[in-house]
């Protein structure tokens, strides 16, 4: 019977495992972090990768070493020696993984509670996902937008729901995501720690427009945020009654989730400067965006797709909105010059 030298695979374990663990601990395998809570998830992810790297090193080293050291001689035809187990070894390979897994489980539970814990002075943002866009409501300011603007270092509680199918609210730079489920409100907390521009992505396959279900995220300074709030609430002044009703309907029915009102690019064409402009349609024809065009665009969106956009707007507004409500929305669009 051949006798191996346990020192060789032991050393090999670390030669393979340590650089791999180091790589996963340091490597930019996720985008730069922008949420305080996300940091805890990052730590857990890297720790699990590092432990898994060492386990991989252990298995690969002993397997590789055995293949070479215990290979059969060409002339050796006898059976291998019978083995009756090794109690110490069996205890070790049961107890050690048990301790490792229980520790990771306990740490994971702690992190789960930590990231879900309510923070002082939270700002509530109600997130609604629908096929195929997002709207964000700030109850404290009476604002509903299609763009998520957040003050840096401000704890946010996102109350997430959906109006149709299951979506998932996810900003990769914030790390953790949460399902948006019809008839139910799920809460996820993030404290943005870095100013910058990110994107909300839908992380649940939800139909043909799933990949386009994006919304811009801007993390800004506290002063900039207050400026933004003033702009949003100030814009209401000077609207006719009909236009004001139209503006409220546009928030309520999620129009602004896809159609920006400030010229920003979105899933659908912006409403800024839309009224009276010349539209180039996907079929090559052009048309002027007058009342008649806008009415048709709302009740039968597939009939006149603007060049460069996809046909993903729901064709349900004909039933959801009254004629008068549609006129109000058009009145609102007229004010967005």
Closest distance to ligand CUA from the beta carbon of 167 (Å): 3
d(CA 82, CA 1): 11
Cβ-Cβ contacts under 8 Å for 46 (sequence gap 6 or more) = 24, 25
Residue pair 237/258 in contact (Cβ under 8 Å)? The answer is: no
Binding residue for ligand CUA, selected from 202, 250, 274, 305, defined by CB under 6 A: 202
Query: Is residue 218 a contact residue for ligand CUA (CB under 6 A)?
Result: no
The smaller minimum CB distance to ligand CUA, of residues 207 and 302, is found at 207
Q: Which of 34, 111, 188, 206 touches ligand CUA (CB under 6 A)? A: 206
- Supply the minimum distance, in Å, between the C-beta of residue 131 and ligand CUA: 7
Q: Which tokens belong to 238?
A: 């000077």
Rounded-to-integer distance, Cα 199 and Cα 157, Å = 18
Q: Of 46, 126, 194, 210, which one interacts with ligand CUA (CB under 6 A)?
A: 210
Window of 117-125, 198-206, 219-227, 264-272 that interacts with ligand CUA by CB under 6 A = 198-206
Chain centre distance of CA 293: 35
Q: Which class for 87: exposed (0-12), middle (13-18), buried (19 or more C-beta within 10 A)?
A: exposed
Q: Rounded to an integer, what distance in angstroms lies between the CA atom of residue 133 and that of residue 127?
A: 11
Which CB sits closer to ligand CUA, 31 or 207?
Answer: 207
Tokens of 36: 């305080």
3-class SS at 286? strand
What's the Cα-to-Cα distance from 62 to each of 28, 51, 66, 67, 226, rounded to whole Å?
A: 30, 17, 6, 9, 61
Q: How many CB atoms lie within 10 A of CB 133?
A: 27
User: Looking at beta carbons only, is 259 or 334 nearer to ligand CUA?
Assistant: 259
Total residues contacting ligand CUA by CB under 6 A comes to 9
Is 334 strand, coil or helix? helix
Smaller CB separation from ligand CUA, 133 or 274: 133
Residue 170, SS3 per DSSP: strand
Residue from the set 137, 147, 204, 331 that interacts with ligand CUA by CB under 6 A: 204
Residues 101-130 that bind ligand CUA (CB under 6 A): 129
Q: Shortest approach of ligand CUA to residue 133 CB, angstroms? A: 9
Please, what is the minimum distance in Å from the beta carbon of residue 211 to ligand CUA?
8
Nearer to ligand CUA, 190 or 201 (CB): 201
**Mask of contacts with ligand CUA, 149-168, x by CB under 6 A?**
------------------x-
Q: Which two tokens stand for residue 70?
A: 């215990």
- Which range of residues in 40-48, 103-111, 203-211, 225-233 is near ligand CUA by CB under 6 A? 203-211
Binding site for ligand CUA (CB under 6 A): 129, 132, 167, 202, 204-206, 210, 213
């Amino acid at each position: 019977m051949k006798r191996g030298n346990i020192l060789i695979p032991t050393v090999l374990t670390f030669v393979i495992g340590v650089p791999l663990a180091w790589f996963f601990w340091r490597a930019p395998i996720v985008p730069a972090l922008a949420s305080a809570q996300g940091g805890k998830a990052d730590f857990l992810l890297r720790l699990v990768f590092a432990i898994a790297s060492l386990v991989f090193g252990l298995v690969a080293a002993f397997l590789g070493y055995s293949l070479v050291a215990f290979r059969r001689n060409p002339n050796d035809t006898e059976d291998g020696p019978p083995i009756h187990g090794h109690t110490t070894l069996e205890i070790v390979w049961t107890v050690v993984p048990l301790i490792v897994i229980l520790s990771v489980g306990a740490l994971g539970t702690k992190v789960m509670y930590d990231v879900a814990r309510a923070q002082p002075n939270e700002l509530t943002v109600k997130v609604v996902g629908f096929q195929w866009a997002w709207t964000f409501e700030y109850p404290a300011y009476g604002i509903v937008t299609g763009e998520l603007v957040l003050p840096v270092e401000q704890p946010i509680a996102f109350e997430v729901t959906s109006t149709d199918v299951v979506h998932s609210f996810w900003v990769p730079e914030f790390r953790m995501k949460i399902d948006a489920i019809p008839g139910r409100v799920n809460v996820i907390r993030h404290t943005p720690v870095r100013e910058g521009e990110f994107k909300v992505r839908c992380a649940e396959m939800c139909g043909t427009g799933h990949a386009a279900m994006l919304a811009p995220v801007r993390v800004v300074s506290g002063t900039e945020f207050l400026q933004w709030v003033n702009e949003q609430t100030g814009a209401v002044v000077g609207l006719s009654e009909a236009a004001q009703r139209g503006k409220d309907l546009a928030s309520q029915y999620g129009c602004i989730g896809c159609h920006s009102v400030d010229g920003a690019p979105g899933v659908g064409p912006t409403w800024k400067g839309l009224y009276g402009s010349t539209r180039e349609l996907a079929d090559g024809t052009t048309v002027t965006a007058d009342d008649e065009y806008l009415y048709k665009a709302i009740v039968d969106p597939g009939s006149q797709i603007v060049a460069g956009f996809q046909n993903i707007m729901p064709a349900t507004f004909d039933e959801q909105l009254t004629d008068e409500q549609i006129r109000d929305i058009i009145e609102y669009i007229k004010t967005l010059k």
